[in-house]
Homo-oligomer: A and B are copies of this chain.
C-alpha cells in the first residue's frame, strides 16, 4: 500500500508549486456528484489508494474509529436505493409550490449508477487511543471519521473519480441492511465512480436551489461577531 507516496521525501517539507497546485485543484474542483456517473469499474489499486487516503486521516488519540464497507453487490445497492427513495419522498413533503417542483427535479443520489458505494462507520466504543482527547467532547470520534471521508473525497477527485454523499437515508434501516452493529454510527454513505463531467459549480447552485455565501460573511476576529478584523481577502 501507500504506493502513491513511495517517492515522497519527507525531509524536504516544502511543497513545490506543482504539488501545491494539486491540493487546491482537488479542493476547488471537488464536487458532490449525483448525476453523471459512468458504469466503468474502479480498478482495485485505485480503490485501495482511496481507502488508504481515508485511513490516513487525523484521528483523536490515533484511535482510527472508522470502518469502511465497500458495497459493489447489486442487490445490496438496490435495497439501499429503496431506503433512499422512501426517505426522499417523505422529505419532499416539507416543500411546497416552486420549491417542491424544484426538489422533484433534483437528482439526489447515484446509488445504482455508481459502481462502488461505501458506507463509513464510526465505532464510539473503540478503545484504541485510550480515550486521549475524548473526555471534554464526546463527538470527536465522529469528527475523525468525517476527516477520513474528506480525505477520500479529495483523493477521488485527483483520480478523476466522482463522489456523492447520500444523507437522505433512514439510518436504522441502513444499519439493518448492512448488518452494522447497534453501537456503531453510519456517518457517511458515498457513491463513487468515474464521471462524464465535473461541473464548474455545485449542482445545487447551478439549478438555483441555493447560492454560495461570501467568505467574509462567515469570518470573525478574536471574538464571535467582531467583523472588522484586519485580514485582507
Contacts and interface: CB of A to CB of B under 8 A. Distances in A.
Contacts of A97: none
Interface string A51-73: 11101111011111011111111
B30 A58 contact: yes
A108 B204 CA distance: 40
A142 interface: yes
Contacts of A209: 61-62, 129-130, 132
Contacts of A131: 94
A39 interface: no
Contacts of A67: 218-220, 224
B2 A28 contact: yes
A62 B4 contact: no
A86 to B, nearest CB: 10
Interface string A155-195: 10111100001011111000000111100100110000001
A224 B188 contact: no
A25 B8 contact: yes
Contact of A27 (B32, B56, B188): B56
A105 interface: no
8 contacts: A19-B21, A27-B56, A47-B231, A62-B204, A70-B222, A73-B222, A103-B132, A134-B167
